[in-house]
Structure 1
Amino acid sequence: MRSLLSLLIMTLALAALCCCEKDPKEPSGSLSADSIKIKKEVANAFVKRKKRSSPYEWYLEYYKSPMEQMHERCENYPPCDYLSDQVGFALAYNRFFGRY
């Protein structure tokens, strides 16, 4: 039984060595770091940030509208947030903070 087991282990070890052996002539193995590099211009083509076309877009990027500020005020107050889920934002905001 032991001889059969040792023969099986030796066969598996040799099979593993044959399967895992790398052939330096064949590039189908693992990719090297040099093979996946791309030019800087190509890489920046999809990362480049869109430039603002007007001062209005620049302003909107940094400042929130009054309605958005009211929504955040209601969301930060748990009773208003809960009621806005039930009856809507306008009624909930009027109930807790007065008329907008």
Structure 2
Amino acid sequence: MRSLLALLIVTLALAELCCCEKGKGTSSQEGSQRAIKKEVANAFVKRKKRSSPYEWYFEYYKSPLEQMHERCENYPPCDLLSDQVGFALAYNRFFGRY
């Protein structure tokens, strides 16, 4: 029992040292990491301009089929059954007519 306790204490001490080492870093490393994160964030946020009212409409409003999919996904029994037998059968089983 004492050997197990000693092993646990040594493991926790090593884990603490590893965590403390990660916290230390030079300012140049942190600055370069921040710059990379900003570049990735900017690339992710940029979006294509909408070229027509049709694209604008479907960006903001969901189709009825997509609404039904979300309704089924939000109800766990329907979601589970849809993985097994398919969306149409699962939706009909729990919510009635497709």
TM-score by length of 1: 0.52
User: Post-superposition, which runs of at least 4 consecutive aligned residues in structure 1 deviate over 4 A?
Assistant: none
In structure 2, what is the equivalent of residue 52 of structure 1? Answer: 50
> Superposed, which structure 2 residues align to 1:23-62 within 5 Å?
48-62=46-60
Alpha-carbon deviations, 1:8-57, whole Å to 9, x = none? xxxxxxxxxxxxxxxxxxxxxx8xx9xxxxxxxxxx9xx75321111000
Structure 2 unaligned runs (5+)? 1-27, 32-41
- Alignment size in residue pairs: 61
The alignment-based identity, stated in percent, is 93
CA 1:92 to 1:48, structure 2 compared with 1: closer, same or farther past 3 Å?
closer
Alpha-carbon deviations, 1:44-81, whole Å to 9, x = none? 9xx75321111000001101110000000000000000
In structure 2, what is the equivalent of residue 86 of structure 1? Answer: 84
AA aligned opposite 2:64: P
Counterparts of 1:95 and 1:76 in 2: how far apart (Å)?
A: 15
TM-score by length of 2: 0.53
Secondary structure of 2:97 counterpart: coil
In structure 2, what is the equivalent of residue 72 of structure 1? Answer: 70
